[in-house]
Structure 1
Amino acid sequence: MDRIAIIGGARLEGVIPISGAKNSAIKLMAASLLTDEPLRLTNMPRLADTRFLGRLLQRLGTEVEEREGENGAETLLHTREIVSGIAPYDLVRQMRASFNVLGPLIARTGQAKVSLPGGCTIGARPVDLHLEALRTLGATIDLHEGYVYAQAPRGLIGAEIVFPFVSVGATEHAMLAAVLAHGETVLTNAACEPELADLADCLNKMGAKVTGAGTPTIRIEGVARLGGATHAVIPDRIETGTFALAAAMAGGEVRLTRTRSDFIDTLLDKMEEAGVGVTRHEDGVTIRRNGGRLQAVEIETDPYPGFATDLQAQFMALMTLADGESVIRETIFENRFMHAPELARLGADISVSGGEARVRGVEALEGAPVMATDLRASVSLVIAALAARGETLVNRVYHLDRGFERLEEKLGACGAQIRRVAGDSESED
């Protein structure tokens, strides 16, 4: 299994183009099940997760073609007919978001059998809200032997769905199902992430009638059918924030392009509070750090537009070298401090109690072998390694490949001493 080797101490100088948003792309791909016409997605990231979902969609009947368009990578998806309504465990287990094919399958064919996605290293992340939303829309849901059996032979019926707490996945799933339901659906206490608005924009291009996406109340007027469309995936705000933090950690000056700084305003405000130079541009943001120690700051994760839980691990890495004690509170997922012990292997001083971590800045980090535990934790180790003395070897980087496109290439082009090393899986077990 591959590893990534980083020799720390190199300052970063240059430009990093940001890829399309993973968390948007995979839901847009699922939307292709809702129509028998082609859906063309541009600005597509090339990731393990998008390829996992592509294989599942092909099993269900979608023709999936990855190709290079005039403006970069694009994917053409065409589901002329659903050839199978079964999403098996061996495919769903590889990526939780693939569970979101359930809603489109029910909406288009009236039935589906989809495996439950199973556990997650960063918390339970149950699908109860997904299933309750589909029940509210009129689907009959039964659970047997790890599978969800769903039926709505006469079609889904519009309804009011009130989420007890904000859930991005459940909001997206309900939207994907409700666009073909009879009548109006109102989603209350909906998630407000930019990916929700992106999904709604795409669905509306396909002929749906969705308003309010990006606000706590989304209204969906069901239509009889959807057609094809061409849609550009929004920039990845988590990748944007990750490279911003990498630049701040290593020092130097890096311009992030093909993205939107307003997607990560909360992060950028905290980085400025810590002493990082930030300049916002129309097409991105420039990050500068030209000497001087950063200041410790306090953060608490919250649903958008709050501080993103998917940037918490990366921010913790930055705080390991800050002056003073920073407090990081995780309110979204339990078990999301598994990167803390690995950062400690590099010399970080971190104590964790429940949903709170205290990071006492140290003078320097030292390179060491470390182990990635999940997608965002793995890249936090890369960020820390950029400033550590000597070499750091990050194991289990298949986590990174799920969500970061050409990570080594993008950092290496700015001067990072980073390379991928082939390794055998036995030594990582």
Structure 2
Amino acid sequence: MSQKTETPQSTTDATDGLKQDARKAAARVGLTSDEILINGGRPLRGRIEVRGAKNLAPKAMVAALLGKTPSVLRNVPNVSDIRIVAGLLALHGVQITRSDDPGEWHLDPSNVEQAHHADIDAHAGSSRIPILFCGPLLHRLGEAFIPDLGGCRIGDRPIDFHLEALRKFGAVVEKLPSGISLSAPDGLHGANIELPYPSVGATEQVLLTSVLAKGQTELRNAAIEPEIIDLICILQKMGAIITVEPNRVIFIEGVEELRGYDHRAIFDRNEAASWASAALATRGDVFVGGAKQEEMMTFLNVFRKVGGDFDVHDDGIRFWHPGGELKPVTIETDVHPGFMTDWQQPLVVALTQAEGTSTIHETVYENRFGFTDALNQMGADIEVYKDGLHDDARRVKRREFEQAAVITGPSPLSGAEIEVPDLRGGFSYLIAGLTAEGQTRVTNLGIISRGYENFIEKLRLLGADFVYEG
């Protein structure tokens, strides 16, 4: 007699937590159903628009806390992370109004106040954005609190970089059962900080904290992603003095006060790359309105190497499959200006249709290939090497925790029932369903709404064949 295998309680709790996160995220942006049935095999064709970057807009909203006058942020996407930040700002007394112009938000920080810990915890959900409230709130109130942090389950993303930087500015950090409490009894002062890795989040933390700190801050090994530069542009509009030097060095001279800003957020290059990958995988033709060439040059090079084609226009970029066989590639993810880790997951689906063997070395997150299990279930041939692969031709320095995925194709995909594990992996599942023969049921859609605005409507605009009861 076979023995029944019970699912570990920790695994069950994690799965239930993921589903709860997905439902909350879906509700924030008006998704009434958490699943979609996709009938694959139809090329995506048409035009969609991308708005402000999910990796910039929430941070720009946090920056409004630093100003003494109201701020206006335009081109804001309707994604659940924006709703989380708006809720947290409102808890701290920021008055938020939305203009009749879609995507325009007005933020008035005149009456900032400390929020209750329980309310912060309830509103933060799985987002990691609350950590960036610390510097601005320490300047405005002298104290801050952040709950346990969530985010996509793609690997360990410790906040040690953030906390160590805040300590160097003079913050007192106290870890509580409910989260982390911070205070600045003597105010914050400039600091010399060198990051062990050019972390985007830690760079944002230093920028948001240093602009009002007394004296000068020198940040070495900083992230220089386009979204970071856009945040620096916002802070400069507010009155900050920030100099970006070569070799990832940023100098910030603290000022006495900052004013509000009026800014149009940079476009979401991750969403643009995702739709480009969908066009390639489905042998389609998609015009991504709002996409810009400069911020996507590394992606565009790889897209062309794989066999895709594109045209750059003033108002966007057209991506299409020109016919013929797709070609295998070797990719190493890296911080900007390298190939972004957020680009590889959607592209993996297209690479399952390439003639030959592709290899992806993932150097940024240590657990970002979990989504490939479902693709293999659909017929893909993807082998994940959890300890990475040796490659003498590597350009990116090997990291101890990195993994590698080897994709052999072309592999016909067949419909299946799959559950979204994380943001980019979730969009990859949509692409897989659109590429596969037969019907695919994708659940946990709310996770995708964290970073993809109105994706159901965009699928309709591109002629996808699907059923969504929402």
Identify the TM-score tier after normalising by the shorter chain.
over 0.9
Can you give the 5+ residue segments of structure 2 that lack an aligned partner in the other structure?
A: 1-32, 387-402
Q: Report the counterpart of residue 73 of structure 2 in structure 1.
A: 41
Query: 2:177 aligned to 141, 145, 156, which one?
Result: 145
1:82 CA displacement:
2.0
Deviations 1:174-227 (A, max 9, x none): 100111101111111000101111111111111111221896111111111111
Q: Distance in 2 between matches of 1:392 and 1:235?
A: 30
Matched, 1:393 2:470: no
Q: Secondary structure at the match of 2:104?
A: strand
User: What residue is the counterpart of 1:427 in the other structure?
Assistant: none
The one of 162, 167, 172 aligned to 1:130? 162
Instruction: Kindly indicate whether the alpha-carbon contact (under 8 Å) linking 1:319 and 1:326 is maintained by their aligned counterparts in 2.
Output: yes
Query: For the Cα contact (< 8 Å) 1:36–1:81, is it kept in 2?
Result: no
1:384 aligns with 2:384: no
Residue 137 of structure 2 is matched in structure 1 by 105
* Mapping 1:347-426, distance limit 5 Å: 347-354=379-386, 355-421=403-469
CA distance in 1, matches of 2:466, 2:226: 31
Once residues 290 and 196 of structure 1 are traced to their aligned partners in structure 2, the CA distance between those partners, rounded to angstroms, is 34
Separation (CA, whole Å) in 1 of partners of 2:456 and 2:270: 17
Deviations 1:230-281 (A, max 9, x none): 1101000101100111111112322212121221211211111111112223
What amino acid sits opposite 2:385 in the alignment? S
Checking the alignment, whether the CA contact within 8 Å between 2:113 and 2:141 is kept in structure 1 is no
How far apart are the structure 2 equivalents of 1:322 and 1:168? 32
For 1:124 and 1:286, locate their aligned partners in 2 and report how far apart those are by CA, in whole Å. 36
Judged with a 3 Å threshold, the aligned counterparts in structure 2 of structure 1 residues 188 and 419 are, in CA distance, closer, same or farther, namely: farther
Moved more, 158-167 or 113-122: 113-122
> Are 2:84 and 1:84 equivalent residues in the alignment?
no
What amino acid is aligned across from residue 74 of structure 1 in structure 2?
A: E
8 A contact 2:279–2:319 mirrored in 1: yes
Residue 295 (structure 1) shift: 1.1
Q: What percentage of aligned pairs have identical amino acids?
A: 39
| Alignment partner, residue 311 of structure 1 | 343
Q: Following the alignment from structure 1 to structure 2, what is the Cα–Cα distance between the partners of residues 153 and 205?
A: 29
| 1:208 corresponds to | 240
Across the aligned residues of Structure 1 and Structure 2, the Cα RMSD in angstroms comes to 1.7
Cα deviation 1:133-171 (Å, max 9, x = unaligned): 111111111212142221213321111111111100000
Contact 2:56 2:266 (8 Å CA) reproduced: yes
| Alignment CA distance shift 1:9-1:172 (3 Å) | same
Residues 92, 113 of structure 2: 8 Å contact kept: yes
Q: Is the 8 A contact 2:146 2:179 kept in 1?
A: yes
- Per-residue deviation, residues 333-385 of structure 1 (Å, max 9, x unmatched): 11111110111121111111110111111341111111100000000011112
Aligned counterpart, 1:73: 103
Is 1:180 matched up with 2:212? Answer: yes
* 8 Å contact kept, 1:142–1:148: yes
Partner Cα distance (2:353, 2:215) in 1: 55
The aligned runs of 1:223-242 (5 Å cut-off) are: 223-242=255-274
After the TM superposition, which of the residue ranges 138-147 and 86-95 deviates more from structure 2? 86-95
Q: Does 1:290 align with 2:310?
A: no
Deviations 1:291-349 (A, max 9, x none): 22211111111001111111111111111111111111111111111110111121111
Partners of 1:267 and 1:13 lie apart in 2 by 21
Give the Å deviation of 1:58.
Answer: 0.7
Distance (Å, rounded) in 2 between the aligned partners of 1:83 and 1:230: 23
Aligned match of 2:394: none
Provide Cα deviations, 1:2-57, integer angstroms capped at 9, x if missing partner.
11222112122222211110110010011111123211100010111100111111
The whole-number CA distance in structure 1 between the counterparts of 2:185 and 2:273 is 44
- Match of residue 126, structure 2, among 85, 89, 94: 94
CA distance in 1, matches of 2:116, 2:158: 20
2-structure distance, mates of 1:310, 1:292: 27
Q: Contact between 1:408 and 1:419, CA under 8 Å: does it hold in 2?
A: no
Count of residue pairs the alignment pairs up: 420
Mapped to 2, the partners of 1:418 and 1:160 lie a distance apart of: 54
1:104 deviation in Å? 0.9
Paired residues of 1:347 and 1:364 also in contact (CA < 8 A): yes
Letter in 1 for 2:271: E
Does the 8 A contact of 2:311 with 2:319 survive in 1? yes
> Deviations for 1:372-402, whole angstroms, at most 9, x for unmatched residues?
0000000001111211111111110111111
Instruction: Decide whether the 8 Å contact of 1:99 with 1:116 is kept in 2.
Output: no
Amino acid aligned to 1:352:
V
Q: Which moved more, 1:75-84 or 1:298-307?
A: 75-84
- Check the 8 A contact 1:369/1:394 in 2, yes or no: yes
CA separation in 2, counterparts of 1:356 and 1:349?
Answer: 14
